[in-house]
Amino acid sequence: MIFKSLNRNTKAIIYIQIIGMLMGFFTHLSWVLKNGFLSKNYNAPLISSVFWDSLTFLDPLAAILLFLKPKSGIYLTLSIITVDVIHNNFFYLDELYINAPHLTEWIVKYWMILGQIIFGVFILLTFKNNLAEINDKTFTYSS
């Protein structure tokens, strides 16, 4: 298994990514359990509802792949968080930026989106080194 052969720093980063993806999973799962799939409570276009509910399946898949197939996992995680941050920032553009409240009120109200942005930056900043380490171990592991 490639994961076992990764260095401690890369493993720690991937563990943080797994935890982050599982946090996203539980957030979406709790919404679905409370409101149902494609709930009208989203007060959003159908495509946004489909996207958000799909994360109930994609987030844990990414978490599993990060452990079992790290290369696929880091690509899927990067894709999910990138699309999610772009989507959510576009969807809430007016509330987040155009008619935004005072900074402290903004942080209190939108802490989940702020956390998601920070997590996305973390994923982006660690991607290149993780990929290099995984590629190195994949080559070594397969030789």
Q: Tell me, what amino acid is at 116? A: Q
User: How far is the CA of 56 from the CAs of 15, 27, 104, 106, 127, in angstroms?
Assistant: 19, 8, 30, 26, 23
Of the CA atoms within 13 Å of residue 59, those in its CB half-sphere come to 21
pLDDT confidence of residue 142: 55
Q: 10-residue block means of pLDDT along the chain (143 residues)?
A: 90 97 96 89 86 96 97 98 94 80 85 93 97 83 53
Q: Which domain holds residue 99?
A: 2-142
Terminal Cα distance for the chain, rounded: 13
Q: Structurally, how many domains does the chain consist of? A: 1
